[in-house]
Amino acid sequence: MTEAPIDSGGLVFQLIPGGCLQGRIRPPGDKSISHRALMFGALAEGETRIEGFLEGEDTLATLAAFRAMGVEIGQPAAHELVIQGVGLHGLKAPNEPLYLGNSGTAMRLLSGLLSGQTFDSVLTGDPSLSRRPMGRVTVPLAKMGALIDSNEAGTPPLNIHGGRALTGCRHRLLVASAQVKSCLLLAGLYATGQTSVQEPAVTRDHTERMLQAFGYPVEVADGHISLQGGGRLRGGALQVPADISSAAFFLVGAAISAGSELLIENVGVNPSRLGVIHILRLMGAEVEFRNPREFGREPVADLHVKASTLQGIRIPREQVSLAIDEFPIIFIAAACAEGETVLEGAEELRVKESDRIAVMAEGLVELGISAQATEDGMIIQSGAFSGGRVHSHGDHRIAMAFAMAALVAKGPIVIDDCDNVATSFPDFVKLASAAGLRINTKASAG
């Protein structure tokens, strides 16, 4: 056992062991789609109405950024937005740096979008975001003619110089990243000629689908995504499905806890996001799609899951990029699966909101699980969660993953530094409690 982490202040999750998950739940709107719907609605011509918008800290930071650039955005009801689009060239210079909190998605996508503006801008974030590498967007953007200054480590703040003429380029990504791909496509809207991005592996394609929903032609073929600059976006109505990354915590919680049976409603089941489903099914989880349908161009279904006997697996490399945000909770499933689970090819996890390989391995060991971090993944042996105290390191997905471990733990689990759960899942505690998780919160005295 390692020494218990020191409470660094903030919200604390306290979990009583045992229980199961039952009933019907609807997770919040998809964070990735909410970001993009807001951005494209602002850049479109005419009015855009969005239902199901995630009102989390990350997406609200994006909303504030566009308001600071002169976009009129109404909020007539909870999770609804009415955006008066200003067109691709209608944004105004902000009066101060745009603060994006903990949102890597917002910073990387806005880097591309703002590179094509006539004005200068500065992107900043919280301490966690300020440590995240941005060279993977600033370097290819420079190839297109953008000029972006960062600090010596290639991290924020980013000073974006406007008034630069962008030229479309062919980009071959070395690391599969939907954020980098989306950044370059957004810059391509302002570039002369064609911008093309080649992916080494499939990543989420919400940007491509969203562009097409707003009437902007995009070509997708053989791992290449291409568009011509100089087009127009047209406003309309959009409905944001529930976030599969948020649903994943409940999928695993129900799969690992005896007596569980849960229906998770209105979940986005975009094929580029189904890695977590494929991996859980390979492990033996019983996950069924019900009532498949579409919200705009995004496929949606209700997910039915019940308690299952899981088996350890070697996670297929082709599924890694399709489940990159869900690995914290997949690691919890692996600890409950019989035998050994091996993950390789997931070095991207080390540059998320935290180093998710190191932080999850540390927490698993603290709770009695044999977990060995590797350079690009982890090796986990089946075991019993003992209970104990872990630290989320300010990472929302780490906090929610360890909360679900309490369903099968022998003793109470305490999770420090859980404030950032609000970035993606503001009502997590309320929804999880209603489903059967024995969770309480308190303000830290630290």
Q: Model confidence over 49-74: pLDDT tens digits?
A: 999 999 999 999 999 999 999 999 99
By the 8 A CB rule, do 199 and 176 touch?
Answer: yes
Q: Grade residue 96 by pLDDT with cuts at 50, 70 and 90.
A: very high
From CA 77, how far away is CA 362, in angstroms rounded?
A: 42
pLDDT at 427 over 80: yes
- Confirm or reject CATH 3.65.10.10 for domain 31-239, answering yes or no: yes
Q: Do domains 11-28+241-443 and 31-239 have the same CATH topology?
A: yes
Tell me the two tokens of residue 154. 């290639």
How many percent of the chain have pLDDT more than 70? 98
Q: What is the pTM of this model?
A: 0.90
Q: Model confidence over 310-367: pLDDT tens digits?
A: 999 999 999 999 999 999 999 999 999 999 999 999 999 998 989 999 999 999 999 9
CA distances (Å), origin 286, targets 96, 99, 280, 281: 50, 42, 8, 7
Q: Grade residue 9 by pLDDT with cuts at 50, 70 and 90.
A: low
In 96-233, beta strands by DSSP E: 98-99, 121-124, 147-149, 158-161, 170-172, 194-198, 219-221, 224-228
Tell me the two tokens of residue 253. 């919680």
Catalytically annotated residues: 325
Query: Which has the closest alpha carbon to 192: 222, 164, 224?
Result: 164
Q: Model confidence over 213-269: pLDDT tens digits?
A: 999 999 999 999 999 999 999 999 999 999 999 999 999 999 999 999 999 999 999
Placement of tokens 């062919």 in the chain: 170
From CA 77, how far away is CA 52, in angstroms rounded?
A: 10
Q: Grade residue 279 by pLDDT with cuts at 50, 70 and 90.
A: very high
Q: Grade residue 296 by pLDDT with cuts at 50, 70 and 90.
A: confident
Q: CATH homologous superfamily of domain 11-28+241-443?
A: Enolpyruvate transferase domain (3.65.10.10)
Average pLDDT along the chain: 95
CA distances (Å), origin 33, targets 28, 41, 297, 441: 12, 12, 11, 29
Count of C-beta atoms within a 10 Å radius of residue 86: 18
From CA 404, how far away is CA 398, in angstroms rounded?
A: 10
Sequence ranges of the domains in the chain: 11-28+241-443, 31-239
Helix runs in 352-395, H state only: 356-366
pLDDT for the residue 360: 98
